[in-house]
Amino acid sequence: MQRDACFVCGQPLIYNDQTVEQTCVFCGEKEMNAITCPNGHYLCNRCHGLDALGVIRETTLKSSETVPEILAEFLMQHPTVAMHGPEHHALVPAVLVAVTANLLGLEEKEALVKEAIKRGSRVPGGHCGYFGACGAGVGVGIAVSVLTGATPLKREEWSWANRATAMALEKMADTGGPRCCKRCTMLALAAGREAIARFLQVELPAAADWKCRYFSRNRQCLGRQCPFWGDK
């Protein structure tokens, strides 16, 4: 995407003579700026200066979204979230915890989301190939662990967290490599929905079929072999 294009819709930005009040699509902050998107999208100066983890934290904490794919796609559009990168390892558990907390109206949402991000950010890049466990898949286990209060000493919760990771990794292994952080994120969220329904009896709403808009940026794209390939 061009640097002078909107990060959401890709349309060329308009450089006006006067400033106008605009609302940040990520945090809701209002500020005056002369640069506008023809479709009304705006990224405030604060959010523009955040790193990927900061964007994930601020957005998931403030969002009321209950559909995992919608919130994840919104986050992946931010310019700090790379095509591939370990930020996806935090994005998955943050999204799953946030939408579950939103759906249930959990008062402890902030603490749970921050814990999910903290744990997910500890999973290094390349974990999928070098450790045999994609970080996005591990993120599903992290989400279930955070939501159920699992620890190494608990019985059912320990099992649920590990099974949740296994469910995600199986979906990814069935699809095959090489890695794609967007594909693995969406597969992880699908597994997360199944795991949360199974272990927490919470039915997260599903989005319509998600189609990838990032494949042109991925030199290792599986093309038509990917279930999310955008040209299907």
Rounded-to-integer distance, Cα 123 and Cα 118, Å: 10
pLDDT attached to residue 25 = 83
| Residue for token pair 């308009």 | 14
Of 122, 137, 121, residue with least CA distance to 184: 137
The reported pLDDT for the residue numbered 2 is 45
pTM across the whole model: 0.86
pLDDT at 91: 98
- Cα(180)–Cα(168) distance, integer angstroms: 14
DSSP-assigned states of every residue in 111-138: HHHHHHHHHHTTSPTTHHHHSSS-HHHH
When pLDDT is averaged across residues 63-92 and rounded to a whole number, the result is 94
pLDDT in tens, 173-222: 999 999 999 999 999 999 999 999 999 999 999 987 889 988 888 889 99
Quickly count: other Cβ atoms within 10 Å of residue 178's Cβ.
Answer: 11
Predicted confidence band at 156 (pLDDT cuts at 50, 70, 90)?
A: very high
pLDDT at 111: 98
Of 40, 53, 43, the residue nearest 85 (C-alpha): 53
Q: What is the mean pLDDT of the chain?
A: 92
State the average pLDDT over residues 152-164.
Answer: 98
Mean pLDDT of 119-126: 95
pLDDT the model gives residue 229: 86
| 28 three-class SS | coil
Region 12-16: what's the mean pLDDT?
88
Question: What is the per-residue pLDDT across 42-52, written as a single tens digit (0 to 9) for each?
Answer: 888 777 768 99
Q: Please give the Cα distance from 33 to 35 (Å, whole number).
A: 6
What is the arithmetic mean of pLDDT over 96-113?
Answer: 98
CB contact at 8 A, 95 and 79 = no
The pLDDT score that the predictor gives to residue 232 is 46
